[in-house]
Amino acid sequence: MSHVSLRAVTRVYPARSGQAEVHALDPIDLELARGEFFAVVGPSGCGKSTLLDVMAGLSAPSSGEVVFENQLVKGVPPGIGVVFQEDASFPWLTVHDNIAFGLRQAGTAEGEVAAQVRYAIEFMGLKEFARAYPAQLSGGMRQRVCIARTLVLKPRLILLDEPFGALDQQTRLLMGDELLRLWRETGATILLITHALDEATMLADRVGVMSARPGRFLDVIPTGWPRERDSTIVSSESFGRLTSRIWTRLRGESIRALGRA
């Protein structure tokens, strides 16, 4: 029984003043197993973010269905966490209060909140910044706050939309390691959207290659990595082979997408 499935999901944005109808997703079929790490790569504008919106229940599919834990998804179901591409930290709250937000919202007792938040802060390496405000932190740290805020609610499915997009390469590799650590600790199912091939190859159990708009999966490539992995695998031979295989698949689509841009 899969954890999340998308069956024949399409998403059409209706025509608006001066703009034609936009087919963001052409039938998408996807099944994610519980605890799987799945990465999505694709050319820009192919509908990756729309896919995430539909999966999270932020957006309803125009046709087809999204099923999470055997329930049809209508609105955002409990047990899902999302880390967005843009900074979603709340500027009016300290790092501590940001992370505590969801727990307090659920009415958790303050003692329990403090304990959970402390754990999340330590896990994400934010200890010295607990009382700081997001404006005083770097972009990478703010993303960590968002991840911690998601983590602390113990979601069973975590969706990440190019979370490390704004960071430099070294920081991204390290953040990738942290994401893997998080994945192993929580046992959550993870869907990561990224434009960085090496990131997708390194982190995921399977990599889905999306076509240019309207987006659909051209190929789903299993990586075969062991669960205990980290960024050192980037120097292995199989990593190089996998990455070039993905790029071969992706290259044509990227050119097509560029032409349409």
Residues that bind another protein (CB under 8 A): 56, 58, 75-76, 78, 80-82, 84-88, 90-93, 101-102, 105, 133, 135-136
- CA-to-CA distance for 251 and 258, rounded, in angstroms? 11
Report, in Å, the least distance between residue 98 CB and another protein: 10
Instruction: Report whether the peptide linkage leading into residue 214 is cis, meaning its omega lies within 30 degrees of zero.
Output: yes
Bridge partners of 161?
193
Bridge partners of 16?
19
Residue closer to another protein, measured from CB, 82 or 117: 82
Report, in Å, the least distance between residue 84 CB and another protein: 5
Q: Which residues contact 244 (CB under 8 A, 6 or more apart)?
A: none
Report, in Å, the least distance between residue 126 CB and another protein: 16
Residue closer to another protein, measured from CB, 82 or 210: 82
Report, in Å, the least distance between residue 217 CB and another protein: 24
Residue closer to another protein, measured from CB, 13 or 133: 133
Smallest CA-to-CA distance from 127 within 90, 164, 96 is with 96
Residue closer to another protein, measured from CB, 8 or 106: 106
Residue closer to another protein, measured from CB, 139 or 222: 139
Helices then strands, counting H and E runs in the chain, come out as 7, 10
Q: For 131, what's the count of Cα atoms within 13 Å in the CB-facing half-sphere?
A: 0
Q: In terms of C-beta distances under 8 Å and separation of at least 24 residues, what long-range contacts does 237-240 make, across chains too? A: 239/198, 239/201, 239/202
3-state secondary structure (DSSP) of residue 252: helix
| 73 backbone dihedrals φ, ψ, rounded to 5° | -90, 120
Instruction: Say if residue 99 is exposed, middle or buried (CB neighbours under 10 Å; 0-12, 13-18, 19+).
Output: buried
Residue closer to another protein, measured from CB, 161 or 198: 161
- CA-to-CA distance for 90 and 84, rounded, in angstroms? 13
Instruction: Work out the end-to-end distance of the chain between its first and last CA atoms, rounded to an integer number of angstroms.
Output: 39
Residue closer to another protein, measured from CB, 48 or 229: 48
Report, in Å, the least distance between residue 51 CB and another protein: 14
Report, in Å, the least distance between residue 102 CB and another protein: 5
Residue closer to another protein, measured from CB, 95 or 182: 95
Report, in Å, the least distance between residue 90 CB and another protein: 7
Report, in Å, the least distance between residue 153 CB and another protein: 8
Smallest CA-to-CA distance from 246 within 191, 215, 204 is with 204
